[in-house]
Amino acid sequence: MTEDFSGVDQSKPSIARVYDYILGGKDNYDVDRVIGDKFKHEMPGSVAIAYANRQNLIRAVRKIAEAGVTQFIDMGSGLPTADNVHQVAQHYSPDARVVYIDNDPIVLAHGRALLEENEYTRVIQADVRDPHSIRQHPDTVELIDFERPVAVIHSAILHHINDDEDPRSVVRYWQDQVPSGSYFFISHFRSGGNPETAEAEAVLQATFGRGRWRTDEEIRALFGDLEMLEPGIVPCSLWHPHTAEGPTRIGPAERELTLWEQLIVGGLARKP
């Protein structure tokens, strides 16, 4: 499949492409690298946030797959990188089904090219703030059976939804759509009450008009009445740190976390 980048606006930075650049990817433009370099050079410790979040996502998908869930919807998935959700999930269940959601056309182009021969995976260009359109999308309807448990992933995406856009309602929508036994993973920027937090939040707001660091209590509220699983909401680097088998490559956390690593937290919950 030929990648079609005709819908990509190279004059404006993209959250997905900035994240790709910070993680060492090549699917980004000069305008994205300007923002990425601001984090790399002016707030160098902040790069650890991206890595801690990615590793937590891998571990969470593994936990969910080990529980027997074989359907995943990855909201705000970003550009394909190593150990994507489908790669981890399909390591445990070769027929695991994954729908990736992102609003960046370059994600759609790269994702469809990468997954052209993977019959159990789809990439949809959509806005996570419009969950109904995702739920009714033909690819979602084709791939996901909502009569069986589904894992809904909001990895480092809800902090890009401002308060007046009601991120809790986004999670609540999917909570109402999936049956008992479904899982919800959320990772989120965590307020640190320090200059580093304020500076990073200001950069995102100035660049994208969005970016909201939230307290532990506010992040917990996003889960609503879902059943939180151990160890609850903790820094991503401390969420079940272990040496994993299979496609994941994670070592145990044996050192004190940096200030930046404490600013990204994750949690996994189950619908009773």
**What's the confidence (pLDDT) of residue 174?**
98
Cα gap 132→200, rounded to integer Å: 31
Query: Of 22-36, 50-64, 116-130, 237-251, which gets the smallest average pLDDT?
Result: 237-251
Average pLDDT over the chain, rounded to an integer: 85
What's the rounded mean pLDDT across residues 47-69? 92
For the entire predicted model, the pTM comes to 0.83
pLDDT band at 193 (very low <50, low <70, confident <90, very high): confident
- Cα 231–236–239 angle (5° rounding)? 30
**What's the confidence (pLDDT) of residue 2?**
42
Q: Which of 114-118, 162-166, 182-186, 262-266 has the highest mean pLDDT?
A: 182-186
pLDDT band at 154 (very low <50, low <70, confident <90, very high): very high
**What's the confidence (pLDDT) of residue 176?**
98
Q: Which long-range contacts does 87-94 make (Cβ < 8 Å, 24+ apart)?
A: 87/247, 88/58, 88/61, 88/62, 88/246, 88/247, 88/248, 89/61, 89/64, 89/65, 90/120, 91/65, 91/246, 91/247, 92/62, 92/65, 92/66, 92/246, 93/65
Q: In this structure, which amino acid lies at residue 100? A: Y
DSSP annotation string for 233-254? SEEGGGSS-----TT-------
Cα gap 214→81, rounded to integer Å: 27
What's the rounded mean pLDDT across residues 120-147? 96
**What's the confidence (pLDDT) of residue 81?**
66
CATH class of the domain whose range is 15-270: alpha beta
Q: In this structure, which amino acid lies at residue 237? A: S
